[in-house]
């Protein structure tokens, strides 16, 4: 009888462990399914956010490009109105005193000389940029890299040269392409 009790006891404990194992295994399977489902949901959310961020980036880049084009057109319009308002010739007052005829002719020549930039009027960096543009037209990024200045500094530099009509700017596409004008070539050949 003692042997039967031990056998029943061992069978009961074995049955208990089998039932316990089955319950724990089913819970584990349920948890694994929930984790897989939440991982898939997380991936879906991440992909949706990623695609929205990419669309927003594209919109921002488009707006920035449009803004820069409008800004450059506005700057060109301001330059054109400023050059129309500004007199292109230097005028000096001539006192009316009797002078020999040759001196009067020289004074008249001085009065009608166009106001071109002087050699002393350019910074060394501006001269370097003009020399670089003499070789071939360059983009604003190339100029920034070659003169080793910040983007803002090189933008101001190129704006100054553009306003002085030493360079021309092709702003149909980004980045802008700068080219030396005839006036810029004359300036370089004179210096």
The tens digit of pLDDT for each residue in 25-72 reads: 999 999 999 999 999 989 999 999 999 999 999 999 889 888 888 888
3-state secondary structure of 185: helix
CATH of the domain at 158: 1.10.10.10
CA angle 26, 27, 30 (to 5 degrees): 90
Last residue of a domain, one of 69, 86, 103: 86
Q: Which domain holds residue 154?
A: 117-190
What is the pLDDT, as a whole number, of residue 60?
92
Half-sphere exposure at residue 28, Cβ-oriented, CA atoms within 13 angstroms: 6
Asked if 126 and 81 sit in the same domain, the reply is: no
Asked if 144 and 71 sit in the same domain, the reply is: no
> Does residue 142 sit within a domain?
yes
> Does residue 100 sit within a domain?
no
Asked if 81 and 135 sit in the same domain, the reply is: no
Mean pLDDT within 169-182: 85
Asked if 55 and 121 sit in the same domain, the reply is: no
> Does residue 71 sit within a domain?
yes
Number of domains in the chain: 2
> Does residue 63 sit within a domain?
yes
> Does residue 91 sit within a domain?
no
Asked if 16 and 77 sit in the same domain, the reply is: yes
Taking CA atoms, 35 is separated from 12, 27, 45, 47, 48, in Å, by: 34, 12, 15, 18, 20
């Amino acid at each position: 009888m003692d042997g039967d009790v031990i056998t029943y006891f061992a069978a009961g404990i074995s049955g208990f462990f089998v039932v316990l194992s089955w319950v724990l295994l089913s819970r584990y399977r349920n948890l694994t399914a929930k984790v897989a489902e939440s991982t898939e949901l997380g991936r879906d959310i991440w992909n949706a956010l990623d695609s929205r961020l990419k669309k927003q980036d594209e919109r921002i880049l488009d707006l920035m490009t449009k803004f820069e084009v409008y800004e450059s057109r506005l700057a060109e319009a301001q330059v054109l109105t400023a050059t129309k308002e500004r007199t292109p010739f230097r005028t000096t007052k001539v006192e009316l005193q009797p002078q020999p005829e040759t001196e009067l002719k020289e004074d008249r020549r001085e009065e009608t000389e166009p106001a071109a930039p002087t050699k002393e009027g350019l910074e060394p960096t501006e001269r370097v940029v003009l020399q670089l543009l003499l070789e071939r037209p360059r983009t604003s990024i190339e100029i920034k890299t070659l003169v080793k200045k910040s983007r803002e500094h090189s933008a101001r530099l190129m704006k100054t040269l553009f306003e002085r009509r030493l360079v021309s700017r092709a702003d149909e596409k980004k980045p802008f392409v700068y080219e030396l004008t005839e006036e810029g070539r004359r300036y370089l050949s004179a210096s």
